[in-house]
Amino acid sequence: MDFLLNAVVNGLMSGAIYVLVALGLTLIYGVLHIINFAHGSLLMLGMYVVFFLVTRWGLDPYLSLPLVAGTGFVVGYLLYRGVIGRFSHGKDENILLVTLGLSIIFENAALFFFSAHTNIIDLDYIDDILIIGEIFIPYTKAVSFVAALLICLALSLYISRSDLGKAIRAVAKERHGARLAGINVEGIYAVSYGLGIACLGAAACLLMPSYYVSPSVGHSFVLVAFTVVVLGGMGSFVGALVGGLLIGVAESVSAAFLGEQLGQIAIPVIFILVLLAKPTGLFRGAQ
Amino acid sequence: MSQLEIKPKGVFSGYGASILLLLVALVYPFVVTSNYALDVGMLILFTAFLGQSWNIAGGFAGLLSFGHTIFFGIGAYCSAIMVATYGINPWMAWMLAIAFGAALGAIIGYLSFRFGLRGSYFALITLAFAEMFRVLADSSPITRGGLGILIPVKQGASQLQFADPRAFYFLALLLCLIGLGLAYWLKSSRFGARLEAIRENEDAARALGIHVLKEKIKCLALSGALAAAGGSFYVQKYLYIDPQLAFSVARSVEMLLVAMIGGAGTVFGPLIGAATLGVLAEVTRALSDAQGLSLVVYGTVLILIIGFLPNGLISLLRRGPRKQGGRHA
């Protein structure tokens, strides 16, 4: 029983990171109606940034979070303005292919500059473990769990309360109407893309202390993030939250029962079943 | 894409140019002296064939697949298991692998299209299928897990293993020609016309009485059979397969890239794409030994093509003469 309980709790902890990664994806989908295939490779770049901040300048990953998230926003904004918006002519499938092209470039540029080595960071608090009754939680995972949920809360409050958030929601619901009301739709697209990538920057900071980085690390997150978003409902914030936690638990429980190797099958299988049975997800994309 | 079909006058147009290309391909293995150059040529033809398999689904029918390596991998593993574990003759195994690829294409097509998945959603589900097969191949005893399967060396034409490296070159050329022939047939047959109608507007196609589900399933089965034939070829050439080689995202992407870059939905697009990327790969390899550089170039070319030449490189060959004709006529 403890075995199962530990698997569930650990699943919830990694699920919180998935929520953050998926939140960026669902925001971009909800507003721009595009599938951002470069999501995993941008997360990978963020993790390299965190890695170099730690190893070169000794900057703590948690303290660097505002910096990395801010950089993520700028990079995302410029990427949309400079490449994605310009090259895709507004066709859905073209955007998918352009973001695929970006992910190929990022991943192989990382391979070129950083080699295929797997890198981890070393901090003095990394091995600390929180013990609550029979449950063992690595300290870093507990911190990332709380931080990820706080960031999600902050972002959804911002989207629902601020003027910019209102503009984003207006564009998501009815882009022509929003344009008539004087909203700069292209600008909102770029800002939303930037916000999505800022989420990735934050996720990279929270992930790095308990994970590794290599040029292909994005792969494992791409499918997870898509699964979360499809399960929760494309464009839905609540969906990303519930979906992320569910997927984290499913992954960790199936690894506990089927072993590390075969356990990985849970995510693609859930993904296929959801797409086949209920492609609109648990929560319809409503913001 | 309701372009008027204007008889192209470009370099690659007409039967003359095709026959010239074929002659070059036939003479090439006797002119080059190194095995390396022979391998480069073989890989271009082979990649063009795999790209053609993607093109038949993704280009002609608009079934944008991001996981086409599913069929390649299934073909490779079917062949490898039948030959290495059960001692079936490799030629026989090849034919059975093609049948498996077609069946899997029909099954995945039925599952996806019965539930009405389109566009990006279909791309994502193929990606998930490929990942599922990778995990299964990695952990199942039939595929010998991550160790992969080695084919025992038994030379002889009846065993589909050849001492002369040129044999596989000609086999790849034959596959490539079969792919081109099928694409040419699709361009001129009613089946191909129905697929194009579905690609351009599915609802309108349905309204015209086209059985959309049936046509899509047939198309994916055909495409799957071709990719499985490619996987089988790969196993016999390299005598080894493992989960990463069979089901990697990289191979799916390569199949899509050559077709997109050359010109999706055209007969010669995948061949032009494969030749371009093959030459680019050799150039970047000459410039630097480091990993990754050639793919950075590929990705950049993909984005530029989508931005500036949405119909692929092949449109350069067609556009030139037409523009001139327009101006001077």
**Residue ranges of domains in chain A:** 2-112+129-277
Is B43 a residue whose pLDDT tops 90? yes
Is A21 a residue whose pLDDT tops 60? yes
For B311, nearest residue in chain A (alpha carbons): A94
Q: How far is A43 from chain B (nearest CA, A)?
A: 18
Of A87, A98, A223, the CB nearest to B128: A223
Question: Which SS3 state, helix, strand or coil, does residue B98 take?
Answer: helix
Look at residue B11 in the predicted model and tell me its pLDDT: 44
Domain spans of chain B?
A: 45-152+163-248
- Which candidate in A29, A88, A272 is best for mutational testing of the B interface (most B CBs within 10 A)? A272
Instruction: Note whether B139 contacts A104, CB cutoff 8 Å.
Output: no
Q: What's the mean pLDDT in B121-125?
A: 87
Residues of chain B that touch chain A, judged by Cβ-Cβ distance less than 8 Å: 64, 66, 111-112, 115, 117, 119-121, 123-125, 127-129, 131-132, 135-136, 138-139, 145, 249, 253, 256, 260, 290-296, 298-300, 302-304, 306-307, 310
Q: Over chain A, what HEC string results?
A: CHHHHHHHHHHHHHHHHHHHHHHHHHHHHHHHCCCCCCHHHHHHHHHHHHHHHHHHHCCCCCCCHHHHHHHHHHHHHHHHHHHHHHHCCCCHHHHHHHHHHHHHHHHHHHHHHHCCCCECCCCCCCCCEEEECCEEEEHHHHHHHHHHHHHHHHHHHHHHHCHHHHHHHHHHHCHHHHHHCCCCHHHHHHHHHHHHHHHHHHHHHHHHHHCCECCCHHHHHHHHHHHHHHHHCCCCHHHHHHHHHHHHHHHHHHHHHHHHHHHCCHHHHHHHHHHHHCCCCCCCCCC
pLDDT in tens, B245-290: 999 888 998 899 899 889 888 999 999 999 988 888 888 888 877 7
pLDDT in tens, A104-117: 999 999 988 888 88
Instruction: Note whether A262 contacts B139, CB cutoff 8 Å.
Output: yes
Quick one: which of B76, B77, B143, B71 has its CA closest to B107?
B71
Look at residue A52 in the predicted model and tell me its pLDDT: 92
- Which candidate in A35, A86, A108 is best for mutational testing of the B interface (most B CBs within 10 A)? A108
For A276, nearest residue in chain B (alpha carbons): B115
Q: How far is B144 from chain A (nearest CA, A)?
A: 13
Of A107, A227, A265, the CB nearest to B135: A265
For A111, nearest residue in chain B (alpha carbons): B292
CATH architecture of the domain covering A2-112+129-277: Orthogonal Bundle (1.10)
Residues in chain B closer than 8 A to A217 (CB atoms): none
Is A94 a residue whose pLDDT tops 70? yes
Instruction: Note whether B302 contacts A100, CB cutoff 8 Å.
Output: yes
Instruction: Note whether A268 contacts B129, CB cutoff 8 Å.
Output: yes
Of B120, B136, B307, the CB nearest to A93: B120
Is B6 a residue whose pLDDT tops 60? no
In whole angstroms, what is the distance from residue A111 CA to residue B324 CA? Answer: 44
Is B317 a residue whose pLDDT tops 90? no
Cβ A241 vs Cβ A12: under 8 Å? no
Neighbours of A137 (CB within 10 A): 18
Residues in chain A closer than 8 A to B292 (CB atoms): 107-112, 215
Look at residue A46 in the predicted model and tell me its pLDDT: 94
What is the signed CA dihedral for B186, B190, B194, B200, rounded to 10 degrees?
70
Residues in chain A closer than 8 A to B132 (CB atoms): 265, 268-269, 272
pLDDT in tens, B198-251: 999 889 999 999 999 999 999 999 999 999 999 999 999 999 999 989 998 889
Of A125-139, A234-248, B312-326, which has the strongest mean pLDDT? A234-248
Residue-averaged pLDDT of chain A: 86
Out of A216-225, B26-35, B219-228, B316-325, least confident range? B316-325
Quote ipTM for the complex: 0.84
In whole angstroms, what is the distance from residue B6 CA to residue B316 CA? Answer: 14
**Greater pLDDT, B215 or B159:** B215
Look at residue B13 in the predicted model and tell me its pLDDT: 55
Residues in chain B closer than 8 A to A265 (CB atoms): 132, 135-136, 139
pTM, entire model: 0.86
Largest Cα–Cα separation, chain B = 68
Q: How far is B132 from chain A (nearest CA, A)?
A: 6
Of A192-201, A251-260, B113-122, which has the strongest mean pLDDT? A192-201
Residues in chain A closer than 8 A to B123 (CB atoms): 35, 96
Instruction: Note whether A105 contacts B125, CB cutoff 8 Å.
Output: no
Residues in chain A closer than 8 A to B306 (CB atoms): 87-88, 94, 97-98, 101
Is A280 a residue whose pLDDT tops 80? no
Length of chain B: 329
For B249, nearest residue in chain A (alpha carbons): A219
pLDDT in tens, A177-208: 888 888 888 899 999 999 999 999 999 999 88
Look at residue B320 in the predicted model and tell me its pLDDT: 52
Instruction: Note whether A223 contacts B306, CB cutoff 8 Å.
Output: no
Question: Which SS3 state, helix, strand or coil, does residue B264 take?
Answer: coil
For B296, nearest residue in chain A (alpha carbons): A105
Residue type at A52?
F
What's the sign of the alpha-carbon dihedral B280, A218, A227, B226?
Answer: positive
In whole angstroms, what is the distance from residue B62 CA to residue B197 CA? Answer: 10
**DSSP of B208-238, one letter per residue?**
TT--HHHHHHHHHHHHHHHHHHHHHHHHHHH
For B58, nearest residue in chain A (alpha carbons): A93
Q: How far is B67 from chain A (nearest CA, A)?
A: 12
Look at residue B226 in the predicted model and tell me its pLDDT: 96
pLDDT in tens, B128-156: 999 999 999 998 888 888 888 988 888 87
